[in-house]
Structures are given as structure tokens and as C-alpha cells.
Structure 1
Amino acid sequence: MRTACFVDGYNLFYGLLAGTPYKWLDLPSLLSHIVRVECPDSFVSAISFFTSGVKPSLASRGIKSKEAQDAYLRALIARDVKVFYGRHQLESGKAPRFVNKDTPASRADQVEVWKLEEKETDVHIAISMYRLAARESFLPPEQRTQQIVLVSGDTDMTPALKAIREDFADLRIGVILPHREGVQRTVPGSLKQYANWMRHVVTEVELADHQLPSRVPTRKKPAVKPAYW
């Protein structure tokens, strides 16, 4: 079963990889493994990875954080992953003041804050999934992608999955939640409603077993795993 994967990079990093020693993830290898476990007759034919560039001025390690992201994306591209970029938008705003967990938020007590938001990624993923389904619906059945897999726990993707389910009933839908074991998270029921299958957790063993070599050859200089990763 020919399978195309669509990965929300922000969701993947903060839901599965942040704070772990597994950031140098061999994404194609991991996705191929999970897809085969969930649907044994499946193989991954394409991976689309959606992200936004790190802002060094706001990153914990400054320019090193950007360099680490750039190295990883180069490694993914060398593994035939298509990378698509959104953008970050920083603007001022107001938010309720945090006092403690027992004190509810109040609009009467707000403070000025900087709000950093990722822009364009969600819409880009949704459109890309739907366009693939629409474009390939004109191909002979044996040449079509037969399954799409969304790697995200973001319920903003629900309308896209619903539209694909309604308009392309023969196309299977899988969802991989970027949730690692040992961390309690709510399962997004709206995504599950339109999926043929859903993987709830990626284990630590799976992350450890699917890591890139420390140096990944590219068309130019090798992509090298950051020392602090």
C-alpha cells in the first residue's frame, strides 16, 4: 500500500523529541517502521516535513539552535524528505497574569507579553494532503497513493481529514500522535474520528532504534549531528 506521510515538525519536536537524546531522528526509518506495524502491506513512498526556521534571538542556544535545525533539515533532505517552510510571527499582546495554579486567569489582570506564533504551517499541511488526493484521483488505481499518514496531534487538522474522508472514500488515513511513552496526553478524538488507525505513542526503544548516523552525506558538506544533541 503506497503511503505518503505529512509531518508537523513543530508538533514532532515538542511532542516527541524535546528534552530527549533522540533529536537526530531518522524520520524515514521510523515512519516506515510504524506504518509497517500498523498496516503490514504498507510502504512509505513520500514524506513531507513542514516547519519554520528557528529565531536565534528567542532560542535557548541562540545561533547554535538555528545551526542545529539547519543541519537536521539538510540530513532529512539527503534522505529524500521534502521540507516546506512556514514562518514565525512575533508581536506584542496581552495575557492574563499567572499567580498560581489555584488562581484562575482573569481578563481584569493582564500583562504585556510577546506572542510568538508559527504561521502558514497548518494550512500548508491541510492543502498538501488534499491536493495529493485530488491530483492522484485521476491516475489509474495501481499508480495512486493509497494511504496518507498525518504525524500531528493538532486538532486544527480535523477539517482536512474530514474533507478527505468525504471526498476520497477509498483513501486510507492514518494518524501518528507525536507522543512519547510515560507522558500523559489527551487523545484528540476529532482526529481519531476520521482515521482508519491511530498510533497513540512512540516508544523510547523505537526512537533509539531509528537514529541517523552522526554524519549524513549530502550533495555538499556532510550534515553533522550537533554536539549537544
Structure 2
Amino acid sequence: MRKYKRYNKKSEYSYTLGAFPTIELLQSDKEVEAVFIDENYKDKEKLINILNEKNIYYEISGKTIRRIANKDKTLVIAAFKKENQPVLKNKNHVVLHEISDMGNLGTIMRSMLAFSVKDLVLVGNVADYFNPKVIRASMGAFFKLRISHYENMEEYLRDHKNNLYLFMLSLDEKDSIYHKKVEEPFALVMGNEASGLPNGFEKYGEKVFIPQSKDVDSLNLPIATSIGLYEFRRKR
């Protein structure tokens, strides 16, 4: 068995940090290489029974966990092979352009799963979606999503013909999410946390904005995406 080190983007494997995402991993069809359990984990016998049933290698080793996670509160870690299913054609999905925050990315994954959208497209220079911080923020939702990455929108559009709804600022009331008619298959297109979608993106589809009070400058990306997912599901 390989000696596992702290996560590196170039490695062939990644980790779940914690019991809950590890259980989600075990319930998926991902290839699990090994599981490490701290001797103080209270449900270790139950977890060991699951691992024995699935014939998955495990060790009781808090030392290994601390070497990988560098956090005292992490009691379970699983190493899994980095691979994913590509996004399906003609399915509703979310497109994230140049998203950079791993916590935001994981939170959006969880919201997607909550609203039954299981296809995620990442475009451009984006956060490493296999990073354990993303897996943890998603609370294991990562393992139930299909994910594809494209270098730019033109490359993405060659593969997919979804109706694009671009979440951008607009002064036109007809672009309000509350007035927008939904046509499937749709893609909710969200931009970078700081800069949003670039100027000129409106050529790809329809603008959408979320009305809000003047007391706040803007909604953060996970909240805006969650509102979009909710509204589009409600209108389907």
C-alpha cells in the first residue's frame, strides 16, 4: 500500500476529512483506496463492519490522520481515486465561471443536490474541485454529482445546447428572476465571487438578476446560486 501524504493537486488521489463525507463516499461508486480511523472515534466498530462488508482496507491510526489532515478534530479519513463522471447532455445544470473559493464551491455542490440538479460545469481557471476542503464543504454531495471542466465558454457550448440564464446585474425589470420563464434544459451561469460574469457574456443567453434591498451591496455566490436553484425548480 502506498504511503499517503498531505493532499497535492497533482496526486492521483484525494481525501474525505471526517466521518460524514467518508460515509457518503462509501455509499457511492467511487474507488476507495483506504480508510484511516482514529482510536477515539466512537462509532469505529460500525464503520469497520461497513468496510469489512465492502472489503476495503483500513487502519486504526490517529497518527496517519494527523499527518494528512493536520487537524486534531478529524477522526476519520478516506483516500479515494480522483475520477468523476462527466456532465450529461440535455440535463439541467449549473455553470460556474472562474470560481476560486473552495468553500463556496463545496457549498454550491450541496445546494445543487438539495434541489436535484446533479450536473456541474466548471469553466476557466477554477478552484481544484478534488481538494479535500471542497469535499468537506459539500458534506459529501460531491460524490453524487457529475462534473465537467472546460477551458472557456466556447468549448463548453460545443458540447451543450442548454438554455443559458446568466446571473448578472440588470436595470430591466423583465430580467428579474421572479418574471423569468424557465425553459429546459437550463443552465444557471454564475460568475466569480468578486467580479461576477465578464462584460459581453449576455451574448450567450438571457440575463437574470435577483432583486434585493439597497441595504446590502450583493449576495454571496452560494446564496445567489441557491436562490436561483430554488426559483428554477419551483417554476419547472
TM-score with structure 2 setting the length: 0.28
**Higher strand proportion:** 1
TM-score with structure 1 setting the length: 0.29
